[in-house]
Amino acid sequence: MSGTAIILGSGTSNGVPTLGIEYPEEFLANPKNHRTRCSVLLQGPEGNVLVDCAPEMRIQMVRENILDIEAVLITHTHADHVMGMDDIRAFCLKYEKPIPVYTSPQYQEDIKRIFPYAFQQFPKGIWVPRMDLRDAPEWIEHGGMKIRTFWVEHGQIPCMGLRVNNFAYITDVSHIPADVMPLLEGLDVLVLDAVRLRPHPNHFHFEKSLEVAQEIGAKMTYFTHLCDDYDHDKTELTLPPQIRLAFDGLRIPL
Ligand SMILES: [Zn+2]
């Protein structure tokens, strides 16, 4: 079993550059400082699983030349993780069937509220996204991958984390419950929220992420969900070699 995780987006909820802010030319000149909203594509030996649907989902998929999706996982229903879900429509049209979407029951209700038309009837020939909403089990098998899901705390709400082989992805987290920690042993690569430099009530911030990354002890940790506090190259100069910043388009072997 093998595959690739593609970081489709590595930015915080605003994206980087953030609207309305003027940035130094040197900052903008580095493509790694251009961050779309957080999402990862798991490319398995037999198919692709999309984790979250950022507002830029269509642009991310075109950029990475991704032509197929077998299933979608939604970690939580904050706008930056679901607002691209309308574009699932293209794949429903391609396969002429609903796309399996795994998340918690409470987030399924949110999705029905945000995209009511996806669950309504229309005359033949009108195409809307069709989502086959499913409760996320502990193990999800798609694309020839076995994906272990778990839940972490994101402020007051849960956020889904996942592990495939020795790769784990934890976006939007303020606390990892003690019973999840054993699932993160023996990792080659961990992708972990590190939203900004100063503390945040709903996210790990830089210092906290460094501490947790050290505790988990993956061979390599990439920080994600990054705001414009991070100038990619300048920040990496200050980091230990086993900690790097994720960037849009980063590919990680599974
Ligand atoms: Zn969030």
Tens digit of each residue's pLDDT (9 = 90 or more) over 202-230: 999 999 999 999 999 999 999 999 999 99
Strand partners, 146: 141
> pLDDT by residue (tens digit) across 106-132?
999 999 999 999 999 999 888 899 999
99 alpha carbon – ligand 1 mean position (Å): 23
Distance, CA of 246 to CA of 222 (rounded, Å): 5
**Average pLDDT, rounded, for the chain:** 97
78 alpha carbon – ligand 1 mean position (Å): 5
Q: Which amino acid is at 241?
A: P
> pLDDT by residue (tens digit) across 24-78?
999 999 999 999 999 999 999 999 999 999 999 999 999 999 999 999 999 999 9
Q: What is the reported pLDDT for 1?
A: 53
| DSSP conformational letter for 198 | S
1 alpha carbon – ligand 1 mean position (Å): 31
Distance, CA of 136 to CA of 139 (rounded, Å): 8
172 alpha carbon – ligand 1 mean position (Å): 5
- Work out the average pLDDT over 85-95: 96
Give the 3-state DSSP-derived string for 24-72, with helices as H, strands as E and coil as C.
CHHHHHCHHHCECECEEEEECCCCEEEECCCCCHHHHHHHCCCCCCCEE
Whether 162 shows a pLDDT value over 60: the answer reads yes
23 alpha carbon – ligand 1 mean position (Å): 25
Whether 253 shows a pLDDT value over 90: the answer reads yes
Share of the chain above pLDDT 90, in %: 98
Domain boundaries, the chain: 4-253
81 alpha carbon – ligand 1 mean position (Å): 7
171 alpha carbon – ligand 1 mean position (Å): 8
- The domain at 4-253 falls in which architecture? 4-Layer Sandwich (3.60)
| DSSP conformational letter for 185 | T
Q: What is the reported pLDDT for 25?
A: 97
How much is the pTM?
0.97
Do 225 and 204 contact (CB within 8 A), yes or no? no
Q: What is the reported pLDDT for 111?
A: 98
- Work out the average pLDDT over 7-16: 97
Q: Cis link prior to 17 (omega < 30° from 0)?
A: yes
Q: What is the reported pLDDT for 119?
A: 96
